[in-house]
Structure 1
Amino acid sequence: MLRLLRPWLRPLARAVTYTRWLHLLMGMVVAVVCAFVFTGLHSPSPAEWALTVFVVPVPLLVAAAMVPAVRRAEGLQARLMLFPGAHARVSTRDAHARVRDAHGHEDPGVSTAPAASWRDRGRTAVWLVLRLEAGSAMWFLTTQLLGYSLALVDSSAEEPDQSGLLLPTTDWAWANALLVPVPALALLGVVVVAGKGMALAARRFLGPSPAERLAALETRTEQLLQRNRIARDLHDSIGHALTVAVVQAGAARAAGDPDFSDRALEAIEETGRAALEDLDRVLRVLREEDREASAAPTLADAERLLDSARASGAEVDVEVSGPVERVPGPVSREGYRMLQESLTNVLRHSGPVPVQVRITVDGARLDLSVRNALPPGRTATGRAGSGLRGVRERATLLGGRATTGPHGDDWRVHVELPLG
């Protein structure tokens, strides 16, 4: 029996039920003030109550809705009382950027930004009038049902006071005693249903406007792009460091020369230190610290990559043409990562083979070409891994293009990027 009643009793144990009840009753405050100010009566008639509920306050509420800050205040109040919990205190920007917060609560979908358009003001006006009418109805039901429950209690001892109540008590004391909890339970049921209805209405009338949704979508897109960019940076940086370390360690073990082993360990140390710097920079971005993260490497720092490849035994032939230092920051940083991934790809799949690197800045275009000989007995399949796919993705995002694959007896990565 308890299992069957549990779904019906669960809302009664939740704080949100009673905060929604209070939120509904607060909507009646304007009508109460108008009743005492407009009529000047201590006991207004039903017609006067109707006038103060449905006529007098409406223009005042519509005028208040024209103030942009009112929408913000209503949104904050709705978040705290209709959707209580940790998520109710999430900022507007973050709340619309994700469906659930860190505690697993659902995003309430209520904006806390001031009204930015007449459409927002109109929706706020409808919301305020809805709060007034719903609050008046809840106030009436609360006083009627709670008053009736108290009248049933009094009827068992003396003649109950039923003034203002629409429902009469019975003439049997035992029947009145049995009926005492019924009005209270009925009121709680109405509160649960009305509270859910107000929550839905808050999402409808206080939800983000199209402009806010577009801004949230742009923020979310930017976050996804940044995470994708960070993932590619980590893949290129850490992958390059590990590839150099593996190649150097294998070469040192095969050589058996203490001097060569010292040089190999030095190269591994330098490459690892550079990778740690990149990792620290990325972690600072992820942690969103107040201090600025160290700048990402650019093509001006390409010599570090070339030295690392040479230290791994590759014969690197480099030719740089044009003012590389004048390449715009985003293009230069992405060009560095593409060069890093290309050299990593050479060391990982071909080993220490001759490599030709050509960097050309010509007018409004940057050309980057990395070409390496295939080791004896190995033929190019034309298939590329995730690293070279990342090179093509980077080039596409910058409005350029990248081609990877066999070129005669060699393997070539060729990138063309616009500087504009």
Structure 2
Amino acid sequence: MIDQASRIAERIMPWTLGVTVFLLSMASTAGSMGVKSALPMPVLTAVAACCGFAAIFARRRLWPLVVVGAVAHTWLVMWPAAAVASYYAGTQLRRRRDLWLYAGGTVVLYALGGLISYRSGGYRALVAGTLANVLLMGGAMLGLPLVAGLWVRARRQVLDAMRDQAEQLLREQVLRADQACDQERARIAREMHDVVAHRVSLMVLHAGALEVNAPDARTAEAAALISCMGREALTNLREVLGVLRSPDPERGPQPTLADLDRLLDQSRALGIVVNRHDEGEARPLSPTAERTAYRVVQEALTNVHKHAGNAETDVYVRYWPIELEVLIRNQPPTATDGDLPGSGWGLVGLRERVELVGGRLEAGPRYEGGFQVRAEIPTV
């Protein structure tokens, strides 16, 4: 909105300036703001119109306005175009030599105009032909606009320099923040590798040893499952560590709803009855939506393993027109070996993940007993 208003103002201002110069030039020749001229009105109107048109395009081409202003002032003591030309000379002339040439040429023209006015006699000689009035008009019509233009240009240069400096500081700040993030990610990756990966590797080794020396087939099968899941956890951990170490935020292949059955089979292999229910017409969804749904089911099943033991669990995947609903509901536990320790941040992080995609997460105990997690994930 602000940029649009600025563009509109940039288009309107030149025309406003041109109309103002035209009206002031007419007032100057009429005697109300200058010396009244005896020339016919069409001639005066044409000269004033030339001054106005030259002022409209003064930002792009300064010299037409300088020439028109010099002729109008010397011939008719018409000052508006000359004043505007002096202002634009201060803002546009970059080289010092050009400024001195402009100032010297203007002084000569004002002196010439004063001489012509002095020889014209009458009211014009009184107003624009005396030395005091020539100096006064030269200072007012040449000096003040030129100084104002120089001040505006200097101010613009200072603001541009400050803007460039601020942008450079912002870039440096972003770079330092990125470097700090990379260092922190590398530190977290080292900690996870040294602690988590080491412990999981030991778990896989012990499970393998238990599988080899198991006293019965059931124990061997459970040990093999633990070893398999541990290796998969190590694979996932290596992927996460790769993401943390890499400066590129793009991740590798992530699980989607196509991998949901494999996730449920892992829970079934641990002795938990997991029922999947798909409702609605299944359709391809965005990778973000499917990945979020998968993580919701994964975290909910993890909580079932930790806190509900062998409780039967139902997983509902409902395809609605504008959203995907995922509901995980477990029955009250019938036999547990005690709650496993948890970080307490699983559902908090899951809620943040769902809300980041514009969805909503609800989790809590059921009235009939048990626990449920329900997520609504937008698909459009």
TM-score, normalised to structure 1, is 0.41
TM-score, normalised to structure 2, is 0.45
Higher RCO (CA-CA < 8 Å; seq separation 6+)? 1
